[in-house]
Amino acid sequence: MFQRSLVNPDKNNWAPRVGLAYRITPKTVIRSGYGVSYIHFNRLGGEEPARLQSSFVIDVSITNPDPSRSSTCGPSVASTGCFRPTALGYTANQINPATYDISNTQLRYIPADLRSGYVQSWHFYDSAGAEPGFSAGPGVRGKSRREADDPRRRQQARPQAVNENTALNARRPYLGFAGIEEAWAAGSPTTTLSRSNWRKSIPRACIC
């Protein structure tokens, strides 16, 4: 699998689910449950998929200089010290695979051992029957998202110092490359909610 995808498959995606119900009195029942669900596809719009890499998609990024201090680029000239307006679009060389340039192309990086993100869900509540067909009671429900696949900028440039005028790519961690977006398993938000339940059973009716 790695030879074709450059990513090792995650074989630890065990998703157990368990539920428990215990009757304390003839009219009071405690219920609880826990489960794990995995997230295999996250933000597919235009973020992390490897198919958006070069040879499939050429994602060109142009860093324009100050237009008040630079001349305007010609129609077939890329931004190499001159200012290129949006109306001119991209030149033929910029989207030509033969002239592919990593210094102005957005890249995507997926770690080979990236683990699938998962969500833990649980609930605990009790219900007491006040009258036939009716029950009510408080409860707690929560979710915990672990190792969520969130994108981050691997090539975030350092800020300019006072009176500094260094080019953007020269301030990046990996010189020679433009932006690199990494699939990063680091998001772990947790949500806990309290709730109250009211249930009313409606007798079955037959419409003949």
pTM of this prediction? 0.60
In Å, what is the CA distance from 12 to each residue of 16, 110, 117, 182, 188?
Answer: 12, 18, 11, 22, 18
What is the gyration radius of the CA atoms in the chain, in angstroms?
28
Q: What are the structure tokens assigned to 84, written together?
A: 């290129």
Q: pLDDT for 36-54, tens place per residue?
A: 988 766 555 555 566 677 6
Q: pLDDT for 4-34, tens place per residue?
A: 777 788 888 888 999 998 888 887 888 899 9
H helices, E strands: number in the chain = 1, 8
In terms of residues, how long is the chain? 208
pLDDT of residue 61: 73
